[in-house]
Structure 1
Amino acid sequence: MSGKNVPFQDLFVTMTKVAKDAVPIGGLVLIPPKNEHQLLFVLGGTAKVQVDHKHSQPILAADTHFIIKPGQSLQITNQGSHLLDISIIACEVVQLSRADHKLSAASVKTFAYFQYETVSHTPRSLRAMVQKLQEPSTFIDMQKLLENQFLFQKLIYLLMDSHASQTDADPRHAVESTIEYLKLHYDEAITIEDLAGIAQLSRRWYTTLFKEITGENPSDYLIRLRIDKAKELLTMSKESLYAIARKVGFEDEHYFSRRFKQKVGVSPRFYLHNRRILGTTVTHPELMYLLGTIPIAAFSPDQEFPSYLLEAFKQVPKLNNSHHFDPEYFKPFKPDVILAAEWKDYENYDALSRIAPTFLLPSHNDWRDELTDVGEILDKKKQAHRFIRWYDDKRDEVREQLKLLTNNETVAYARMTQEGLIVFGNQSSRGKILYTELGLIPPEKSLLHIDGKILSVEQLAGLGADHIILQIGEQADSSREALLQQPGWRKLMTSPTSRIYTVGHREWYNFSFSPLSTGFAMQHMLQMFERGVVR
C-alpha cells in the first residue's frame, strides 16, 4: 500500500460517546445539534428520520446508518411494528496540519464519507462491532477505552470501504466527493491534477464530468467559491482586503481584486458600499432608509408604502407581507445581504443563508437598539447614533407641546382589529411611547400595567378618557362597520366628554417599532389635538 493511500495519516476520527436506545412503536426521539459528527445506526426496526425540521424524511431500515453532521438536529420516529433498536456514536474528525495544506487521497475519501447525506447500508458483518462498542466502560478502564478506539477506527475504515465499493462503479460519485472537498477547502492551493488524482480519473475525463455536474470547469468553479466567500467576508467582517484575499485562497490582493471585478462586475470596495440589501420585516426597510440605504425590495403593511416612503420607494418592488413565507421567495431578487429577525426567521436562517449572507438580528424592546444593530451591519453606526440624538430632541419638543394641548387630560389609544378593540397600556411598546416618552396621561391607573387588552365598546367608553385615538387595523372594514352599528359606539361618539381621533393603518402600523412611523404619529397627534375632535 503506497503512503498516499494509508488511511488516517493526516485526517483521523476519534469516538467521543456511544449511546443506545430502544424506541417503542410510534415513539419519538429528539437528537439536539452538536459540534461533532454523529453516526446513527439502526440495528432493528424501521425509523423515519427528519433532519433540521425539513420536509424530506428518509426511512432507515435495519442494518442501515445515517451520518448526522455538526449543527444538525434529528427527529427519529419508530415507523415499524416492532421495537426500534438504535445506536448513536459521536465522533470528532480531526485534520492534522501539513506544510502543503493538502490532504492525502485516502484522507479526502474519509472526508467525503462524512459529507454523505443519504442512508447507507451497514454490512451485517459490522453489526457486531457496533454492538461491542455499546458495552459499558468506565474512564478508569483504560484498556477497554483503548480497545474501543481501535475498534471504532476499524469500523470507520470498513464503513468507508463498503461505501467506496458502492460508489466507485460510477466515476461521478468520485467527482462529487472532490466537489464537496472543494467547498470546505477552497482556500488551499489545489490543482485540477490534484483533484483528478483524488478521483482516480484522467484530467480530461475528470474535467468533462465536473462540468456536466456543475456547469463550470474546475478552475472557474473554484474561483466562484472563493469570490462568494469573499463577498460573505466583506459583508460579515471588517478585515482588510489583503486579509480577506488571503483567507479565500488568493496570495495577491491586486489579483484578487481583478478576479473579483471579473466575476461580480465591480471592485470589492464598490461592492462593499453598494450591496443589494433585503430585510424580512416591515421595519427593516424603514431603518435602512434612515441610514441612507434603499432596499432592493421591501415588505409593506398595506397595498402601498406609507406616505413618508412613497417618493423614496417608488422604484422599490413591494413584497407580500405574509407571516408564512418560503425563503426561496427572496432568491429572484439576488440580494447580497439579508437582514432577518430572530423572532420570525430563526428556523429559516440556514435557508436564507444559502441565498445570501444573513444577519439574524436579536429582538429588542426599543427601536433604537435595532437601528444601532442595522447601523453596525451597514457600517453606519455613527449615523444611527446621530439620528437617535436628533429624534430624542424632537420628541422632547413634541412632549412639551402635547402637555400644553392636553392640559392634564387623559388619553387612550386603541387599535381596531378583527379580534376586537385592543387598548394598549404602559407595558406595551406603543404605551411606553405615549405614557412614558411623551408624558401623556392614561385614563386609569390599572392600564399602566397591561400590555394590550381587548375591550368591548362599553368598556372603552367606561374608561372615561378625554381623548381616544382609534387606529383602524388591517382588513378590519367589516369589523368596523359592525362596531359602528353598536348602540355603545353611538353613545361613545356622542359623548360630550370624550373626543375621538381616527387614524389610518398604513402610517401608524409601525408606531413604536420604527422611528419614521413613530415620528409621523407624533406630528399627527399634534395636528389632531390642535384641531380638536374628529369623529
Structure 2
Amino acid sequence: MEYAPVHTQLVHNILNDLWLKLQSAELIRADRMEQQLIESHVLFVAKNGEGRLTIDYRDYRLRRDAVHFAHPGQTIGVFAESEQGVELYAVRFAVQDDAKTAAGFPLKGEVPIYPETQAFMLCDLISACLCSDHSLERFRGQSAFLELMYVLLKNIRLLPERDPRTALDRTKAYIETHYKENLTIEQLARMADISPKYFVDLFKKTYGKSCIDYLTEVRINNAKRLMTRSDIRVRDLAHQVGYSDEFYFSRKFKKEVGVSPSVYMKNRRRKIVAYTPAILGQLLALQIMPYAAPLHPKWTHYYYRRYRADIPLHLSAYRFNRDWESNMEALVRARPDIIVCDKDSLHMSEREELEKIAQVFFIPGKGLHWREQLKLTARLLEAEHKAECWLHSYDQKIKSVRDHLNRELKDDKILAMSIYKNHYYVSPVRGMMDVLCHDLRLNVVPGLLPGEARQAISAEQLADLDADRIMLNICQEPESLREWQSLQSSAFWRDLKAVRRNRVHLISSDPWREYSAYACERMVDDFLKQLHGDRPDEFRI
C-alpha cells in the first residue's frame, strides 16, 4: 500500500519517537457504560452492535470503518442504540515519549480505517493471550498489540470528497451555520451527492435523529441563546432563526421546550448563576433555568445531556472544583446578576473573587437539610410559592411510592454502600440515606458505628450485614473499577445473599451523590427503575 504524507508522518512518530506498552484489553458488552475518568491511553475497536462512544464532549458513532483513541485525563462513556447492546474492545496502553519529541501520541478521537481491516480479530487474540496462565502467551499479547497498531496505521484512510460520511458531516455543519435559510432535504442531499431517500436514512442512522429534527433543534437552541441576550420580539426572533411565520415558530418552540417563547424569555430576564451542581438541582426544582452552571458529560451527566442547550454558559464541572479560576474568567465576561453557591465548598480566594463579579447568595451546605436549602434559595430568589408547590408534589409522590414499596419489599434489608479506590463504605452520603431511610422508610442496614456516616468496612464484613438487597455506587475511575472487578471474582462476594439472588443494584453518582431537591426526586425514580427495569406498567404514580 502506498502511504499518503500524513500516514508517513504518523508512522514515523509512532515507531521512532514513542514506546508503546500494552496494559490490558477488555471486551465491553453493555447497553450503557457510565462516563468514567481514564488514566491511560485507550484504543476502542467496535466488534458488534450499534451505539455511540463519548470522549469528553465529543460524541462518535461506533462502526467497523473507524477506531477511536482517548488520552489520559479524558472521560469516556458508551451508549447502545439497539436492544442487543454493543460489543467493543477497550485496549489500554502506556506511551513513553522519546526525549526528541514533545508531541505525544498523535492519534486522538476518531480515526477512519478501511472496513476490511477487521482489527477486532487481533483484539480477540490480544485478550486471549492476556488471559493465559503462561507467561509466554502473555508476552505474545504485547506482540499482537504492536501488530494491531501496525495494521491500524497501515490502514488509516484519508476521507475522499465523495465519501458519504465526509459529505454527511459537511451537510450537518452547513445546517449549523445556515439554519436561518429555507433548507430542504433535496438541497442537502445534493450537497452530499446522494439520493434524498438515502440521505434521510443515512443521516438518521449516523446521528441518531432525522435531518428535520436536527434542523429544528439547531433553530430552537439558537433562539434560546438570542432570548438570553435581549428583549427581542417574538416575530423578529422567529425570522432570525429561520421561521417566516411567528405563530408556527411559537407552536414549534412550545412543543420542543414546554413553554411559549414569551414565558421562556420572562423566566430568563435575570442572569442567575448556579455555581455548583447541587445549586443547579435546587434551581430546577424551582423551575428556574440558570444562565450559567457546571456541565460535563461525566461529572454532571444528566444535566449536561438534558439542559446543555438551555444553559448558555457552561462552567467547569471538574470534581473538587479545581478549575475555579477559569470559571471566574468566564463569569467576569458574562456579567451575571446573581450568583448562588454552596457556602461550604468554596476557597476563601474563590469566594472573594465571586463577590467582585455580582451579588452572591451563599447557601449553607453542612447542617442544613435539602428542604431548608430549597426554601432558603426560594426566599432569596423570590420563588417561595414554587418551592411550596414542588415540596407538596414531592411529598405526594413519596407517599404513593412508599405505600407501593412497603407491599413489594416488606422487610427486605437494604445495604447502601460505595466503592472508592480499594475502600468500601456503608451509608456513604446523606442524600442517599435521606431518600432511602427517611422519605421511603425502607429497612436500610445501619452502619457498624451508629450515627456515623461514610463508615469504611472490610469486604469480609459485608457478609455480617446479611443484606437482602445492595445499592452499590462505584466511583468511575480506574482504581475503583479494578477493585470492583476483583470483588466480583471473590468467593465471599458471590456467596452473599443479595448476590446469589441477583439483587445487587448498581447506582450512578449522578444523582445518588448529589444533595438537592431535584436529585432526591431523581433518586426515587431511579430506585423504582432498579426494581422494575423499563417496565413502567409495574408501578404508576
TM-score tier after normalising by the smaller chain length: 0.3 to 0.5
Q: TM-score, normalised by structure 1?
A: 0.44
Q: TM-score, normalised by structure 2?
A: 0.43
Of structures 1 and 2, the one scoring higher in RCO (CA 8 A, sep 6+) is 2
